[in-house]
Amino acid sequence: MDLSFMEHDTLAAAKAMLGKRLTTIVEGVTASGYITEVEGYLGINDKAAHAYGGRRTKKNEMMYRPFGTIYVYTMHGHHCMNFITRDAESPEGILIRAVEPIEGIEVMQQRRGRMDHLTDGPGKLTQSMGVKRELHNGLKLNEGPIIITEGRTPEAIVESKRIGIANKEEASDYLYRFTVKGNPYVSKDRVKAAANLGWS
DNA sequence: GCAGAGATTCTCT
DNA sequence: GAGAATCTCTGCC
């Protein structure tokens, strides 16, 4: 699909990312899900972002690549996946925090070593979908094993504070986390599932 | 060369 | 709700 919606406005792109179908093909196995939760990270001026103040290191180098680049980092032994927006002048990106599983449930369960809670968190979905820093950091969306295509449309979008950055001063209060209202496949909050899981 | 932190997850209380 | 597990990179000594 056309990725040009990621070229200019990161927060608009983050909201547009909800409902897109994310597919990975790793070790010959396909897994996919609808994106249900994302967070925006606004680079230079965002104290919670890895690129705050223009900080540029070996670890966050991929944030300075063009929109459509995949940035995978590890922390506490888990992998987190971001889609980079804009360009080298604006090192911004979208953290993919949760998806609703569609395809490859069995391999997700196998990779996770459990039957539920497969993709309702940033470290969980990368584990379920086989995403690893050493394999996928720096690749381009839709030019390799990680693909997004059109999916579903959220009935409504909920804005909330980002998770895990409580000590980032004013940036802690930014409402840059977006979830599909009524979809239970999201991190942290226990959401009462809507009849259609929040899709229109 | 090493201490410490981090956009997390799991388990137990 | 708190604490441990666990891994890489950064920053400072």
Q: What is the 3-state secondary structure (H, E, C) of chain A?
A: CCCHHHCCCHHHHHHHHCCCEEEEEECCEEEEEEEEEEEEECHHHCCCCCCHHHCCCCCCHHHHCCCCEEEEEEECCEEEEEEEECCCCCCEEEEEEEEEEEECHHHHHHHHCCCCCCCCCHHHHHHHHCCCHHHHCCCECCCCCEEEECCCCECCEEEECCCCCCCCHHHHHCCCEEEECCCCCCCCCCCCCCCCCCEC
Spanning CA of A200 to C1' of C5, the rounded length in angstroms is 41
Q: What is the CATH number of the domain that holds A119?
A: 3.10.300.10
**A90 neighbors A13 (Cβ within 8 angstroms):** no
Q: What is the CA radius of gyration of chain A?
A: 16
Nucleotides of chain B in contact with protein CB (under 7 A) are 6-10
Spanning CA of A59 to C1' of C8, the rounded length in angstroms is 9
Q: Nucleotide C9: nearest residue by CA–C1'?
A: A59
Q: What is the pLDDT of residues A59-93, one digit of tens each?
A: 999 999 999 999 999 999 999 999 999 999 999 99
Q: Which domain covers residue A68, as residue numbers?
A: 4-180
For residue A83, being part of any structural domain is answered with: yes
Q: What is the pLDDT of residues A106-141, one digit of tens each?
A: 999 999 999 999 999 999 999 999 999 999 999 999
- Kindly determine whether the C-beta of residue A192 is less than 7 Å away from any atom of nucleic acid strand C: no
Q: What is the pLDDT of residues A185-200, one digit of tens each?
A: 999 877 889 989 999 9
For residue A38, being part of any structural domain is answered with: yes
Q: What is the mean pLDDT of residues A159-177?
A: 94
For residue A30, being part of any structural domain is answered with: yes
Q: How many domains does chain A have?
A: 1
Residue listed under structure tokens 């056309």: A2
For residue A99, being part of any structural domain is answered with: yes
For residue A197, being part of any structural domain is answered with: no
For residue A186, being part of any structural domain is answered with: no
For residue A196, being part of any structural domain is answered with: no
Nucleotide whose C1' lies closest to the alpha carbon of residue A118: B9
**Residue A41 has what pLDDT?**
97
CB-neighbour burial class of residue A93 (10 A; exposed 0-12, middle 13-18, buried 19+): buried
**A40 neighbors A92 (Cβ within 8 angstroms):** yes
Q: Which of A195, A1, A156, A18 is nearest to A100 (CA)?
A: A18
Q: What type of residue sits at position A63?
A: M
Angle at which helix A122-129 crosses helix A105-112, to 10 degrees, equals 110
For residue A187, being part of any structural domain is answered with: no
Q: What is the pLDDT of residues A4-32, one digit of tens each?
A: 999 999 999 999 999 999 999 999 999 99
Q: What is the mean pLDDT of residues A144-158?
A: 97
Q: Nucleotide B7: nearest residue by CA–C1'?
A: A164
Spanning CA of A165 to C1' of B5, the rounded length in angstroms is 13
**Residue A71 has what pLDDT?**
98
